[in-house]
Amino acid sequence: MRKIPVFEVIRYAYRFAFGEFGTILRLTWFPALVFFAVSVVVALITAGSFDPSSPNIGSILLSFVVMAAVSLFVSATIAVSLHRMILFGDSRVGENISFRIGPTELKFVGASILLGLIAIAVAFALSLASIPFAIPFAAATGASFGLFTLTIVMYVVAGLLLARLLLVYPHIVAEEKIDLRGAWQATKGNAMRMFGVIALGMVPFIILSLLAPFILALIFPSEPDSFSPATMLPDLILNYFLFILSTAIWVPLLCYSYKALRDIGPYEYLDESGTSPAVIRPDGE
């Protein structure tokens, strides 16, 4: 049974994210721009029609549905292009405006919805299972500490279960099918390692995303109550690049884990010309 080399995967993921950022930006700038343009328009429309005394629940729900749908499709087109770059060496040379919605992207959207439903089901099941232990545990350790500890345990258990399914995304690109069973079997004996790849791999990005707004505020100070397109612009630009960077990190974390489990080197690629993908060595052998 192959084991995922956690820190090696993280190292290659960040090397890809920053070493190939020019190519990543070329492939992702337009779909990311579409997402942020739609989000700004929806936010302005919602804010303009919002009445605190009688909020329009239908309008709020419609805004949520629109943003969720746009986010799913934009994330899919970005993620598929980066998956293909890592798994097949396909950087779409000469393509400066990339926004594709094809069968693979639609499978990504379907898989994301399916994983979301599974996450809700797992959270609900764990909540029900924890009820018999919650009250006595809280009473024995102190209500706040006990419930906090129990919540953390539930999150970790849910994370371990879902981590085993995340390789469904590389499976979609490599094998053109939503294969939850294949993703689950591929990570057998690697649940902790897969969880570690995601948890530890995203820590530097999380730290960066937390520090960046403070750094931005020092560079572009503004009045606390000021609200205008000019004051919003630095924040929008920052969030735009953080959105691209987050995808440029989580995608290679999954792809290099997938490669490790298939015994494919980080700089080796799959051959999509046959019915069963074969490895192409860098030297063509």
Chain segment 140-158, per-residue pLDDT in tens: 555 555 556 667 777 777 8
Q: What pLDDT does residue 126 have?
A: 73
pLDDT given for residue 81 in this prediction: 95
Rounded to an integer, the average pLDDT of 124-146 is 62
Segment 151-189, tens digit of pLDDT: 777 777 788 888 899 999 999 999 889 999 999 999 999
Query: Rounded to two decimals, what is the model's pTM?
Result: 0.83
Q: φ and ψ at 101, to 5 degrees?
A: -125, 95
Instruction: Look at residue 275 in the predicted model and tell me its pLDDT.
Output: 46
* CA 63 to mean position of chain CA atoms: 21
pLDDT band at 232 (very low <50, low <70, confident <90, very high): low
